[in-house]
Amino acid sequence: MCIANNSDSSENSVKNSIQLKAVDFFCGAGGVTCGFREAGIPVLGGIDIDITCKKTYEQNNVGSIFLNKDISSYQPESLLKDLDLKCDDDKLIFVGCSPCQYYSSVNNIKDNSAKGKLLLEDFQRFVEYFKPGYIFIENVPGLKRSPESPLGKFKEFLNLNGYIYSESVLNAKYFGVPQNRRRYVLLATRVSKNVEMPQENREELTSVEETIGDLNLFPPIPAGHKDFTDFLHSSAELREINLRRIRSTSHNGGSRRDWAPELQLECYKDYSGHEDVYGRMHWGKPAPTITTKFYSLSNGRYGHPEQDRALSLREGATLQSFPISYKFYASSQGKIARLIGNAVPPKMAEKIGNAIIKNHLNAI
């Protein structure tokens, strides 16, 4: 379960005394909910259209209610009753980390994710109705750059409704997450005249080795290993040709450039880009962005630094900064990887939660 660290009882006492609480829209597996709870912010509930998220969300975040709703048809009046909310609550936080595939630089099929490009407008209906004290939005940097993005209208709406906001593109690796993950973040409030982002820490990056290098916790496994326990140290199978390829890839950061000519892929023989594909991660660096395909060797630099396989499900979840105790429930490896890869890293969410707490303490 995602349980707040009680090592500093006085700090937690201060956090609990301010009585902030949150609603996690597009909650997925509960990355933000987990992080906010670690920061000492109760999350009343999470909302998601995908029913397969329900068990993972509720089992790990006991007390936070999962609402299986399509936000485009769900009404604010229903949410008012479902979570016993009130309007104009200065201590209420709305989290809107909507699916971001439409604005992602790696998405090549816009039609499959076109519905998601309007989710921010649906989220705005709830903000307009409830007028929460705080708003947190996280998405891919493309949300800010795309001419089709509804972000501009959303920021105009914030200005017209008494909110001030701060926005930036942040990298999760500067917030305790062992992963190079750039994301657009917006924090807004109507409670004070200023809102500050969390402070980056560029001096103490967490590496892959520090995170998944403990062989007692992550014992060596072959490609195709199935772990039927809750730990889910399972890896995807590899065809014989791909086993030969990864065996030919240098340990600790090697790439397909290490392969003999007969192992090279036709599509890359005369192409110098995308060198991370089929590559191994570096022990001494943060991981690349953990996507929904992190368990697949052919979808990025997801090869284990030393073992001849791609990341296991548990390794991917740990690089996303989920607690080791966090359990994932789905009917296939691919669906579990999707829950993990789509999540906001909990440690980054925790830093955002702490920043909201600090902003609120400065406002009262």
Q: Which sequence positions are flagged as catalytic?
A: 100
Task: Check: CB of residue 96 under 8 Å from CB of residue 26.
Answer: yes
Q: Can you tell me the distance from the alpha carbon of 257 to that of 182, in angstroms, rounded to the nearest whole number?
A: 27
* Residue 235 CA neighbour count, 13 Å, CB half: 23
Structure-token match 């972000």, residue found: 151
Task: Check: CB of residue 40 under 8 Å from CB of residue 17.
Answer: no
The Cβ of residue 6 has, within 10 Å, a number of other Cβ atoms equal to 9
Q: Can you tell me the distance from the alpha carbon of 260 to that of 247, in angstroms, rounded to the nearest whole number?
A: 11
Alpha helices in the chain (DSSP H): 9-17, 31-39, 54-60, 76-82, 119-130, 142-145, 151-160, 208-212, 240-247, 313-319, 333-341, 346-363
The pairing of strands 43-48 and 21-25 is: parallel
Q: Can you tell me the distance from the alpha carbon of 254 to that of 252, in angstroms, rounded to the nearest whole number?
A: 6
- Tally: H helices and E strands in the chain: 12, 7
Adjacent-strand bridge partners of 138: 185
Which residues does 16 contact at the CB level (< 8 Å), separation at least 6? 40
Task: Check: CB of residue 328 under 8 Å from CB of residue 317.
Answer: yes
What token pair was written down for 105?
């630089």
Task: Check: CB of residue 84 under 8 Å from CB of residue 78.
Answer: no
